[in-house]
Structure 1
Amino acid sequence: MEPSVLAGRRVIELGTMLAAPFASHILSQLGAEVIKVEPPRGDPTRSLVRGGPSGTFIAYSHGKKSVCIDLADPEGHAAFCQLLATADVFVHNLAPKAARKLRLTRADCEAVNPALVYCHIRGYATGPQADDLASNPVAEASTGVMEANRVNGRPSRLGPSYHDQFAGAYAVIGILAALLEGKKDGRGAREVEVGLYETGLHVASRDLAGVQLKQQLLGRPEREPHGEFSMPGYGAYATADERWMYLLILNDAHWQKFCEAMGLPQATDASLATLRRRKKAREQVEEIVKSAMAARSFDDVAARLKAGGVGCTEVMPIERVLEAPQARQPGTLRPVRYRGLDFDVPEFPRSGAAQAPTDTLPPPELGAHTVALLQAAGVTASACERLLARGAIAAANPDDFAWAPVRQEA
């Protein structure tokens, strides 16, 4: 088996919640050794569900090792620096003020390890808001996403923390670029800086450019219509048995195929043959599609659309997503066992995952690798004992939590 692309690289993650842990998760899936450094209380995702770890921790921390250090303790900080000296990459999402307080800025880390790739995922990149705090919903609110996503008229977050994950993915791109670049010009630590706000701007760039286009063409700001509403027949529709099917009717050929597959008279109706005409008759088209879907069972609709070459998929409830045959293909899911429970965790999508899977570890217990990794980095056994005794570092405690059982109704 060929070694993974990042085999032999050591990544130290100092991350909470999602952005930095997601970045190091991808690096782990690419073969890097990832050491998750956590404070005495652990990453907050360790205690979000009934007293124990959440899906975030299980999904994005398997394959990692855990070192528990109190970085506010001078001796704990010194031990961390010895570990940092052995790393190729350091990725964190501390607030800028916290990074300065803990002496973990780029300059601080460069003094410890001049060859380091230093990656900071922060709320805002350099600028007037550089020290402001931001989270995934803040990025959505400040870049136009939330204002357009309303629940009962109230601007609301999307749900999944996509901006955190985008920022983590952008960080990986920057880290890989820095590793490829090497130290050609003799610089010190190579810096990768990713702002959550700037990530949100980039993700929204299509819509932001669209508003500017309309301003210049029409002389007034006008938003691009939402993709679903600009294309009649493009969206989710309920079948007779109250299941939902998402239709991809994007162009004239799609419309023709849909009408033929569903046996509709509109298949020969020239008045609706072009997208421009269907847009003008939006309500009529929507009613045609809605009625056609509601008149048949889901299985009947699915068979007809598949036979007719119409793009579609069921709108899946989350509890059924992994039942799909496509999800069960080799290399798509990884079995992960944690505290007696079994999980199927989606893999990072990469070519050859089925033929050459990367090794993994179960999600680590807090501090499971503290002593071994610190000693390997040069911290003596007696120093580790002293640090353990004073609480500057911690080792794994298998009794640190127990998921609270669900109470059965009498």
Structure 2
Amino acid sequence: MSNSKPLAGRRIIELGTMVAAPFATHILANLGAEVIKIEPPSGDTTRSLVRGGPSGTIIAYSHGKKGVCLDLTTAEGKDVFLKLVASADVVIHNLAPAASRKLGVTAADCRAVNPEIIHCHIKGYAHGPQADDLATNPVAEAATGVMDDHRIDGRPSRLGPSYHDQFAGTFAVIRIMAAMMNPAATEADRTIEIGLYETGLHLAARDLAGVQLKTQLLGRPEKEAGGEFAMPGYGSYLTSDGRWVYLLTLTDAHWAKLTKALDMPEAGMEAFAKLRDRKKARDTVEAAVRAGVDKFTFAEIEQRLGAAGLGFAEVMPLERVLDRPQARQPGKLRELSFRGLEFEVPEFPGQHEVEPGSPPPELGEHTVEVLGALGYKDDEVAALLDKGAVRGFNPEEFTWAPVRDKGPKPT
């Protein structure tokens, strides 16, 4: 890791599971920090999500970290944790509030051994009447309006990717960096709570302000439609060879270029030149765009829209995303070997070169090494291992179940 990175020399202790806290420490690691990922004997939940073994979350967001396994329900395991806290700059976790108190990892617990520690708790809800309630990414979506707008066959549904978890992790990094940069940071500044619910509120701020605006102007609540619903010609359309293309038709100038590029003279006439007129004739305009796109293969669409200077993209299935030339430019992908398998993991944005790094740690892979660095002697480490207060790497745990050959598919 380059010493020129802004967080070189900083130690971050992560008690993370699933996405939010591990995503935050993933960012901090990319900024040069040493991240020690502490897991219980049962491991991070994402260690056993795919055929009994690690999921993509571990591979994508825990590479470059050190793995330590502690049983914080034991006095000895808790003692090791507090020694780590005393050596660290930041503790970040996303344990449930009751669990954090039971295990002794609250801000007060950590500050007792390190008064200058920055303590960040990513939780369901920040201060308020629901501060102890549990929430996950989809619960935050449900509670802040996102899910009501995303329906599958009429049923409110989660978006899919855990964006609220990832944004909460990003907001945590911003707050942590602000505390680090502030020489006059108070204890309150160094005690950070990031709620998934509050993250969702912030992400929905535009829509929440919009519905208030419409209520006051119109005398009734009315949602501001998203771009692809408000602007005919803005959305996904099927080409003649069965590929979806997403058109970025934002302005009247874009519309004029689109109708020319797709040979749509009937849709480019004066009656549809302005967005307000296209909205009034939404069904007619949408039918014209569908017909215009359906005249061409994707390759032809790509050539025509590119020549016209219009924004567009093919709607890519995941298995083809990394095949694009843009994705394969230097600095975009990190090659990782993990358990004999090879991965290309998208790199932290803004990189021009990918520095060599380590794969994600196995559960307890660095326990003995980290204990030695804390000053534990060999016999003391052996005693902790024997009591189960700490654990080292066991190659028999969290292995992927073999894929059985189901034979040829019926024709």
Q: TM (normalized to structure 1)?
A: 0.96
**Partner amino acid, structure 2, of 1:309:** G
Give 1:45-124 correspondences, 5 Å limit.
45-124=46-125
Distance in 1 (alpha carbons) for counterparts of 2:6 and 2:104: 31
Question: C-alpha deviations, 1:301-356, integer Å up to 9, x for none?
Answer: 11111111111110000100000000001000000110000000001102xx224x
**Partner amino acid, structure 2, of 1:86:** S
Distance in 2 (alpha carbons) for counterparts of 1:62 and 1:187: 31
Distance in 2 (alpha carbons) for counterparts of 1:45 and 1:70: 18
Residue 207 of structure 2 is matched in structure 1 by: 207
Structure 2 spans left out of the alignment, 5+ residues: none
Distance in 2 (alpha carbons) for counterparts of 1:106 and 1:380: 29
Residue 268 (structure 1) shift: 5.1
Give 1:11-410 correspondences, 5 Å limit.
11-182=12-183, 184=184, 187=187, 190-266=190-266, 269-350=269-350, 353-355=351-353, 357-410=354-407
Question: C-alpha deviations, 1:230-289, integer Å up to 9, x for none?
Answer: 000000000011100000001100000111111221475111111111111111110110
Question: C-alpha deviations, 1:83-135, integer Å up to 9, x for none?
Answer: 11111111000111111111111111001111111110010000000000000
> How big is the alpha-carbon RMSD for the aligned residues of Structure 1 and Structure 2?
1.4
Distance in 2 (alpha carbons) for counterparts of 1:5 and 1:186: 22
Distance in 1 (alpha carbons) for counterparts of 2:252 and 2:359: 50
Secondary structure at the aligned position of 1:379 is classed as coil
Residue 379 (structure 1) shift: 2.8
Distance in 2 (alpha carbons) for counterparts of 1:288 and 1:151: 26
Kept in 2, the 8 Å contact 1:262–1:292? The answer is yes
**Partner amino acid, structure 2, of 1:29:** N
Structure 1 residues 159 and 61, CA, compared in 2 at 3 Å: closer, same or farther? Answer: same
Distance in 1 (alpha carbons) for counterparts of 2:357 and 2:101: 33
Structure 1 residues 280 and 7, CA, compared in 2 at 3 Å: closer, same or farther? Answer: same
Distance in 1 (alpha carbons) for counterparts of 2:46 and 2:399: 14
Distance in 1 (alpha carbons) for counterparts of 2:249 and 2:242: 21
Overall identity of the aligned pairs, in % = 61
Distance in 1 (alpha carbons) for counterparts of 2:202 and 2:185: 29
Secondary structure at the aligned position of 1:232 is classed as coil
Distance in 2 (alpha carbons) for counterparts of 1:327 and 1:192: 35
**Partner amino acid, structure 2, of 1:254:** H
Structure 1 residues 268 and 41, CA, compared in 2 at 3 Å: closer, same or farther? Answer: closer
**Partner amino acid, structure 1, of 2:387:** R
Residue 174 (structure 1) shift: 0.6
Distance in 1 (alpha carbons) for counterparts of 2:190 and 2:3: 28
Q: TM (normalized to structure 2)?
A: 0.96
Distance in 2 (alpha carbons) for counterparts of 1:146 and 1:384: 49
Secondary structure at the aligned position of 2:43 is classed as coil
**Partner amino acid, structure 1, of 2:52:** G
**Partner amino acid, structure 1, of 2:405:** Q
Secondary structure at the aligned position of 1:112 is classed as coil
Secondary structure at the aligned position of 1:80 is classed as helix
**Partner amino acid, structure 2, of 1:121:** I
Distance in 2 (alpha carbons) for counterparts of 1:102 and 1:391: 16
